[in-house]
């Protein structure tokens, strides 16, 4: 199984980050996170286990 510990931002900060991401993507930077609908976040840990 895949596990992750992720922190999400409040709505005001998420909106600010999304605006910045859009500006960056307008300068020919990969827009994968926006296209995939990934919300702004900080990943503290990510790992797999065998079950």
Dump the DSSP string for the chain.
-EEEEEEEPPHHHHHHHHHHHHHHHTTT---HHHHTTPPPEEEEEEEE---
Residue-level pLDDT at 12: 98
Beta strands in the chain (DSSP E): 2-8, 41-48
Q: Which residue has the higher pLDDT, 29 or 48?
A: 48
Residue whose tokens read 């909106």: 15
Per-residue confidence at 48, pLDDT binned at 50, 70, 90? very high
pLDDT digits (tens, 9 = 90+) for 4-46: 999 999 999 999 999 999 998 888 888 888 889 999 999 999 9
| Cα 1 to Cα 48: distance, rounded to the nearest angstrom | 5
pLDDT at 51 over 80: no
Do residues 34 and 25 lie in contact, with contact meaning Cβ atoms separated by under 8 Å? yes
Check: pTM over 0.85? Answer yes or no.
Answer: no
Residue-level pLDDT at 33: 86
């Amino acid at each position: 199984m895949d596990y992750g510990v992720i922190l999400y931002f409040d709505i005001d900060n998420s909106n600010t980050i999304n605006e910045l991401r859009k500006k960056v993507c307008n300068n020919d930077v990969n827009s994968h996170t926006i296209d995939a609908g990934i919300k702004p976040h900080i990943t503290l840990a990510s790992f797999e286990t065998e079950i």
